[in-house]
Structure 1
Amino acid sequence: MRRFHQKVAGLLAARRLEERGYADPADLSTIDRKIGKVIAEELDSERFASIADMARCLGVTEELAERLAEGRSVTWEHTGVVQLDNEVAASYVIEQGARVVRSISAFGESDTVLRAGLDPRVFSAYGGLYPPNMLWQLDTGEWLAVSTTNVGYGGEGPHLARRALVAAGVSKEAADEIAAYRFCDAVDVTDPETWELSRMWPVEGRTWPQLVGDSMVIPFGPRRPGKRWREAPQLAHQRDPDPSGFYPSSHATPGWEQWVDFLDQDELPVWARGRRRAWLFLDREIAAERGFEIEVFNNFHDRGSPTLVIEQGAIQLWAFCPSPDVPGRLAHDSCFEYLRRAGFDTGELERTDVRRGSRWARFLRFIFPNMPQPRMESLAGRQH
């Protein structure tokens, strides 16, 4: 893909100049035809070339990339972020006469996107979300993802990051400092006083979401699929938190709770706005029927449906709770704890479930085994 990046970087830079009114708008169609030709040539010559990868590079949808490859006219929509390899990204910046004003870099990739406040779905590919280790914001306001880089250790990735920063016009001293840390938010790349630096990672405590349909899902709870593999015991000599940054450090507040705090903010990006809603599934089969099912491929194939879903905008928090520990009840106490933490009034719901576990209710169900049981409860919260 590097050859493709090199071929389209100059064309994308020219297109940005056209969009900002530096030349005849009619030239946009010429540039689009040239980009389409590069896509078509790459598909013909590279065995493993894919429209998905090229669309990610261009920061557009796969449908738009396909239309370009077919030579058809398009209405260009910047649905994503342009993603280019290290020094190719630098040439893209220079060729459009722009400069890097902010750089966010992280060893834990999700820190970059969560700190920038970008929609994580911008970085979707092959059914997952893959954030970059480095993001630049240009003086035009555009965000640029710099791929094939890394930071925070003495290897090739940080070396490529330094070279890219210098090639984009950042001073060598600043580039060396940025690449040396596990995390750096250089709010103003020319003023180190504005930087946030950390050797510990991840800096952002919010759990990186998984893509399910068009929703961003944060699974949590003791019964979530794949848990026993993702939470392997720490090594005996591992420190947590680890000031050296050799190992990742955990946060005092669980990731799903940090998402709740984020969603409670007054100022939210478009993708996180909306009325907060919740569904408590008293029968997990109905959760699967409604599309709330997740698969994990991690040394084994595991799938499952949540007990509780809390939704706001495109974010969904999926709680995988234990079975009720009181005979006759349909929900575990942790479900109500999660709902209260998310700002829902669970008083009546809890009282109803407690009554279900009473001796009289259990006796009636014994006498009338076909008595219908509720399968789902829904709650509505406030608008955000």
Structure 2
Amino acid sequence: MDNTIAGDYVTSIGARIVRSVSGFDAGDVLVQSGLDPRLFASEDDDRVRVPYMLWQLDSGDWLGVGMATVGYGGTGCGYSRSALTRAGASERVAHEIVRWRFCDAVDIDDEDTWIKTSEWPVHSRSTPMVVDDRMVVLFGDGLRSIRSFHDNIYSDRERRNAAGESSYPSVTQEAHLEAWLHFLDDAENLPEWAQGPRTARVFRNENAAAEDGFTATSASWGRWGQATHPCVVIEQGHVQLWGFYYRPSDTTEYLPAEAYAVLSLANVYPTSLAERDERVARPWSRFIANFVTQKDGLPDRIDISATGTQQVAYRPSVPVTYAG
């Protein structure tokens, strides 16, 4: 709801704000609220578009405040303060919420409960895309716009923070894949949409991934963009993590080393497959492979789970388009 009418709407229905979550980064707002990302799915594409301010009303309902901005001295922040006061918040409370680049006013009437900071992002977990009814997270060096899960993508931010440039984004200390896995590991606090057994599917080649519908294209290249395909997919509940890494130069190896590292992090490690790749990577095995065509009998796709029988449940009906 547009910020020019949000406040008046709250008072018109006789409600009041009990909690306000706002941030300079929409991803922080989404994670902090705990809401289902699919609530914010765009009707035009597979993006999740979260307002920079969310209010929880005394009815328990949430209200997204469109065009609200926080954390700087611009006109947009003035509109945000106005929306809060028109909804019944005091001038002081509205000013205090809007001045921070992240503020969770857990109990809007008790500032001792507030979580606030001038640094951002607060959360490392990236905003997923929505395809059909599933949430898809892309990672890996195979996508030029997305760094490897183990890279320090905030090195420049860390330098700026050390120099006292506090308005620059903070270091979250955790790459988004690791943040997603830690979230999915927290069984006691998982929302319904992330509950379920964890299964991984690995692909020997891009053709197999394409046949199963796992395809991504860059929005920057439009219809000329080259499709790319993950070599590893991790599924839990309605969440899928797609890992893109360059295929091994040694064609006798099933997966790249980075894929094994990801599977290890996710606790779905294919020990027998890894040991097999280690054997074929030995110099003598590679030497023989140069002269003798070998068929190892392995399928182009393998599902990995704790039970050994679980399979990936969801296969996308359309390609995913990512920014980059």
User: What interval of TM-score do these two structures reach, taking the shorter chain for normalisation?
Assistant: 0.7 to 0.9
CA distance in 1, matches of 2:52, 2:154: 26
Shift of 1:254: 0.8
2:206 corresponds in structure 1 to 284
Q: How many residues align?
A: 298
1:69 corresponds in structure 2 to none
Partner amino acid for 1:94?
T
**Any unmatched runs of 5+ in structure 1?**
1-83
Q: SS where residue 208 of structure 2 aligns? A: helix
CA distance in 1, matches of 2:184, 2:111: 30
Shift of 1:102: 0.2
1:45 corresponds in structure 2 to none
Distance 1:330 1:362, change over 3 A: farther
Of 231-240 and 193-202, more deviation after overlay is shown by 231-240
Are the counterparts in 2 of residues 205 and 251 from structure 1 also a CA contact under 8 Å? Answer: yes
Asked if 1:254 corresponds to 2:175, the answer is yes
> Which gives a bigger RCO, structure 1 or 2 (Cα 8 Å, sep 6+)?
2
CA distance in 2, matches of 1:292, 1:184: 37
Distance 1:371 1:113, change over 3 A: closer
CA distance in 1, matches of 2:11, 2:173: 42
Distance 1:235 1:114, change over 3 A: closer
Q: How does 1:34-49 map to 2 (within 5 A)?
A: none
Shift of 1:212: 3.1
Asked if 1:376 corresponds to 2:293, the answer is no
Are the counterparts in 2 of residues 356 and 362 from structure 1 also a CA contact under 8 Å? Answer: no
Q: SS where residue 147 of structure 1 aligns? A: coil
Shift of 1:239: 1.1
Asked if 1:92 corresponds to 2:17, the answer is no
2:160 corresponds in structure 1 to 239
Distance 1:350 1:371, change over 3 A: closer
Shift of 1:372: 5.1
The structure 2 residue matched to 1:322, chosen from 242, 246, 251, is 246
2:274 corresponds in structure 1 to 350
Are the counterparts in 2 of residues 222 and 320 from structure 1 also a CA contact under 8 Å? Answer: yes
Q: For residues 170-200 of structure 1, what are the alpha-carbon distances to aligned partners after superposition, in whole Å with 9 as ceiling and x for unaligned?
A: 1110100100010000001111100011111
CA distance in 2, matches of 1:236, 1:226: 17
Q: SS where residue 28 of structure 2 aligns? A: helix
Distance 1:232 1:189, change over 3 A: closer
If each structure's helix is expressed as a fraction of its own residues, which one has the higher value? Answer: 1
Q: How does 1:1-384 map to 2 (within 5 A)?
A: 84-125=1-42, 126-127=44-45, 128-227=47-146, 239-240=160-161, 244-265=165-186, 266-298=188-220, 301-324=225-248, 326=250, 328-358=252-282, 359-360=284-285, 363=288, 366-368=291-293, 373-381=298-306
Distance 1:233 1:227, change over 3 A: same
Q: For residues 191-212 of structure 1, what are the alpha-carbon distances to aligned partners after superposition, in whole Å with 9 as ceiling and x for unaligned?
A: 1100011111111110111233
Shift of 1:367: 3.1
CA distance in 2, matches of 1:165, 1:108: 19
Shift of 1:251: 2.0
Q: For residues 85-139 of structure 1, what are the alpha-carbon distances to aligned partners after superposition, in whole Å with 9 as ceiling and x for unaligned?
A: 1141112211221110000000111111111111111111111111100000011
Q: For residues 236-255 of structure 1, what are the alpha-carbon distances to aligned partners after superposition, in whole Å with 9 as ceiling and x for unaligned?
A: 99715786553323421111
Root-mean-square deviation over aligned CA pairs: 2.8
**Any unmatched runs of 5+ in structure 2?**
311-324
Of 214-223 and 239-248, more deviation after overlay is shown by 239-248
Are the counterparts in 1 of residues 17 and 108 from structure 2 also a CA contact under 8 Å? Answer: yes
Distance 1:236 1:165, change over 3 A: closer
CA distance in 2, matches of 1:365, 1:129: 48
TM-score computed with the length of structure 1 as normaliser? 0.71
Distance 1:237 1:316, change over 3 A: closer
TM-score computed with the length of structure 2 as normaliser? 0.83
Shift of 1:293: 1.1
